[in-house]
Amino acid sequence: MNQTKYIFVTGGVTSSLGKGIIAASLAKLLQARGYRTTIQKFDPYLNVDPGTLNPYEHGECYVTDDGAETDLDLGHYERFLNVPTSQANNVTTGRVYLSVIEKERRGEFLGKTVQVVPHITNEIKERMQLLGRNGEFDIVITEIGGTVGDIESLPYIESVRQLVWELGENNSLVVHLTLIPYLAAAGELKTKPTQHSVKTLMESGIKADILVCRTEHELSDELRQKLALFCNVKREAVIQSIDASTIYEVPNMMLQEGLDRVALKKLDLPEKNTPDLKNWNIFLQKLKNPKHSVNVGLIGKYVELQDSYKSIIEAFIHAGATNETKVNIVSIQSEFLDANNAQAKLKDLDGILVAPGFGERGIEGKIETVRYARENNIPFLGICLGMQMAVIEFSRNVLGLKDANSTEMNEGTANPVIDLMEEQKTITDKGGTMRLGAWKCDLKDGSLANKIYNASSIMERHRHRYEYNNDYQESLQNAGLISSGINPDTGLVEIIEIDSHPFFVGVQYHPEYKSTVANPHPLFVSFVSAMVTHKNK
Ligand code: GLN
């Protein structure tokens, strides 16, 4: 196949309709039919990337192998497709403007007035086609963040309009996701907001080819007919997306609605085989029929917002299914945890995960939690800041270094067991300057990490500035905190564990970013299994 085909996904009526899940589900179906498919997200905000955003703003910041800090939807793309994404898969308005302005400064538009149309739109169109250019993919799905009609979205919508025209008949299509609200008092589903939102798209010169309608109730034939007529789409192109019990149900629901077939028809592509979802459905089967259940504490400072720890929550879903175990996540705000209430707050947990994070708020609660897990033999997983807290706890309470700390929290501490990485010491800019992306880690023979991964060397994704201070390695190891994973080039300690504990692991990297439905992460799988064992004791 030579021509790459493009699918654009826009949203109307409200935000949070789940465009990312619809895009990922469509991609999954096309992939399962044998099409090489990728998804990218264009976000209409001015940050160059979401790396400088607080999780409360926009949820978790996801990290790719190549070290891009991205929107959390890329996590869904990877979890559904099991294909790694990259910097090119997430573009923000900030990045687009930055690159246009840099070009202007270099004189690339010398003599010209630089404008939104055509300079910004050309840059957007260029980036929209980047992944489709090298023949690696048959279909590129582009999700446009935000809601149609927003001021911020306009340059993207105009770029889509131009691209649809330039690509020509049958080489692109537009999926518009909307909401069909249910008015309880009238007992009716309402189509008007969708009609208006389709009209708004039309005013920008874009005709929606497929409508995906989020709804809490089944759409009747009559209502589908009405939507088709008033929104100017084929009857078969009105797709119902009813609320699901899990996002992993959505590909099957879209298959039933024929979303992939309508899309292929419009793109003039053969249907090939029916989608092969065998393994996917085995996963779903296990997910829905658990034999055990465990309670895991998620100790963090952003717990009020579910999206802050999206990848961790999804990794537990994958690992839970593998273990045929329902993993109930008990979110606990670390800020309000201390030595006096730790027992009461943590006693019903079968496992404890101390979450990643930045800054001082809530860290003493995290340290107290680690102590509780260590002393009571509760399965423990510390991720990034969580691993650093485990090192601090061990230094304070086992080595007796009462003032041990991270220089992130106390610059002048006498025992900086966690310290700023050497190469970070000269960095002042905050954006995109952490130690990011995939780094190699060698695993110590015979260690728990070695057994869990069943490998001697792994690649995992990082996002941090501080690190385990090797000046303390000898005393920590002698006292029982083993360094079981080391970066071979820098000697940085990436994994710590305690031999005498049933399951006590801290990792400087983020295993959650690499967990997918097809490949549940081994650390999470083992952690859940350790929780089941602990509970049955
Ligand atoms: N704040 C810590 C650091 O920068 C941990 C970061 C994280 O948990 N992602 O090293």
Of 322, 311, 262, 251, nearest to 286 (Cα)? 322
Q: Which atom of ligand 1 is nearest to 463's Cα?
A: 9
Name the residue type at position 80: F
Stated as kind and residue range, the H or E segment containing 397 is helix 385-397
C-beta of 385 in contact with ligand 1 (< 6 A): yes
Protein residue with its CA nearest to atom 6 in ligand 1: 464
Are 451 and 368 spatial neighbours (Cβ–Cβ below 8 Å)?
A: no
CA–centroid distance, 464 to ligand 1, in Å, is 4
C-beta of 75 in contact with ligand 1 (< 6 A): no
Are 210 and 176 spatial neighbours (Cβ–Cβ below 8 Å)?
A: yes
At 494 the three-state DSSP class reads strand
Instruction: Give me the pLDDT at residue 2, please.
Output: 66
C-beta of 463 in contact with ligand 1 (< 6 A): yes
Are 142 and 77 spatial neighbours (Cβ–Cβ below 8 Å)?
A: no
pLDDT one-digit tens code per residue, 162-196: 999 999 989 999 999 999 999 999 999 999 999 99
The mean pLDDT value for 228-236 works out to 96
The mean pLDDT value for 44-54 works out to 91
CA–centroid distance, 60 to ligand 1, in Å, is 13
What's the CA gap between 45 and 126, in Å, rounded? 18
Cβ neighbours, 10 Å, residue 425: 9
C-beta of 464 in contact with ligand 1 (< 6 A): yes
DSSP state letter for 145: P
The mean pLDDT value for 372-401 works out to 98
C-alpha torsion sign, points 367, 369, 373, 375: positive
Of 414, 362, 419, 360, nearest to 391 (Cα)? 419
C-beta of 51 in contact with ligand 1 (< 6 A): no
pLDDT band for position 136 (50/70/90)? Answer: very high
CA–centroid distance, 393 to ligand 1, in Å, is 16
Q: From residue 213, give the alpha-carbon distance in Å to each of 11, 210, 458.
A: 10, 10, 42
Of 89, 510, 75, nearest to 310 (Cα)? 75
Instruction: Give me the pLDDT at residue 13, please.
Output: 86
Q: From residue 186, give the alpha-carbon distance in Å to each of 181, 189, 219, 242.
A: 11, 9, 16, 20
Q: Count Cβ atoms within 10 A of the Cβ of residue 374 and give its class: 0-12 exposed, 13-18 middle, 19 or more buried.
A: buried
Pocket test for ligand 1, best of 298, 384, 391, 509 (most atoms within 8 A of CB): 384
Instruction: Give me the pLDDT at residue 57, please.
Output: 84
Pocket test for ligand 1, best of 61, 466, 494, 512 (most atoms within 8 A of CB): 466
β-sheet bridge partners, residue 495: 485, 507
Of 137, 125, 124, 128, nearest to 38 (Cα)? 137
Q: Which atom of ligand 1 is nearest to 383's Cα?
A: 8
C-beta of 358 in contact with ligand 1 (< 6 A): yes
Q: Which two tokens stand for residue 377?
A: 């033999």
What's the CA gap between 533 and 356, in Å, rounded? 25
pLDDT one-digit tens code per residue, 327-359: 999 999 999 999 999 999 999 999 999 999 999
Protein residue with its CA nearest to atom 1 in ligand 1: 358
CA–centroid distance, 494 to ligand 1, in Å, is 13
Q: Which atom of ligand 1 is nearest to 355's Cα?
A: 8
Query: In degrees rounded to 5, what are phi and psi of residue 231?
Result: -105, 5
CA–centroid distance, 295 to ligand 1, in Å, is 25
pTM of the full structure:
0.95
Active-site residue list: 384, 510, 512
- Judged against a pLDDT cut of 80, whether residue 399 lies above it is answered with yes
Protein residue with its CA nearest to atom 8 in ligand 1: 356
Pocket test for ligand 1, best of 298, 465, 512 (most atoms within 8 A of CB): 465
CA–centroid distance, 379 to ligand 1, in Å, is 22
C-beta of 366 in contact with ligand 1 (< 6 A): no
CA–centroid distance, 356 to ligand 1, in Å, is 6
Query: In degrees rounded to 5, what are phi and psi of residue 177?
Result: -100, 125
C-beta of 384 in contact with ligand 1 (< 6 A): yes
Q: Rounded to a whole number, what is the largest CA-CA distance in the chain?
A: 76
C-beta of 119 in contact with ligand 1 (< 6 A): no
Of 368, 299, 316, nearest to 338 (Cα)? 368
Instruction: Give me the pLDDT at residue 29, please.
Output: 98
Pocket test for ligand 1, best of 311, 385, 510 (most atoms within 8 A of CB): 385
The mean pLDDT value for 75-88 works out to 96
C-beta of 189 in contact with ligand 1 (< 6 A): no
Are 449 and 498 spatial neighbours (Cβ–Cβ below 8 Å)?
A: no
C-alpha torsion sign, points 24, 27, 33, 34: negative
Stated as kind and residue range, the H or E segment containing 532 is helix 522-536
pLDDT band for position 322 (50/70/90)? Answer: very high
Are 89 and 64 spatial neighbours (Cβ–Cβ below 8 Å)?
A: yes
Cα end-to-end distance, the chain, whole Å: 57
C-beta of 77 in contact with ligand 1 (< 6 A): no
Cβ neighbours, 10 Å, residue 477: 13
Instruction: Give me the pLDDT at residue 421, please.
Output: 87
Q: What is the mean pLDDT of the chain?
A: 95
CA–centroid distance, 466 to ligand 1, in Å, is 6
CA–centroid distance, 528 to ligand 1, in Å, is 24
DSSP assignment of 339-385, as one string?
TTTHHHHHTT-SEEEEPP--SSTTHHHHHHHHHHHHHTT--EEEETH
The mean pLDDT value for 463-489 works out to 97
Pocket test for ligand 1, best of 52, 411, 463 (most atoms within 8 A of CB): 463
What's the CA gap between 360 and 409, in Å, rounded? 5
- Judged against a pLDDT cut of 80, whether residue 37 lies above it is answered with yes
pLDDT band for position 122 (50/70/90)? Answer: very high
Instruction: Give me the pLDDT at residue 10, please.
Output: 97
C-beta of 408 in contact with ligand 1 (< 6 A): yes
Protein residue with its CA nearest to atom 3 in ligand 1: 464
pLDDT band for position 506 (50/70/90)? Answer: very high
247 CB contacts (<8 Å, ≥6 apart)? 18, 21, 76
CA 173 from chain centre, in angstroms, equals 26
Name the residue type at position 23: A
What's the CA gap between 300 and 442, in Å, rounded? 28
Q: Which atom of ligand 1 is nearest to 421's Cα?
A: 10
Residue recorded with tokens 């592509």: 269
C-beta of 418 in contact with ligand 1 (< 6 A): no
CA–centroid distance, 465 to ligand 1, in Å, is 6
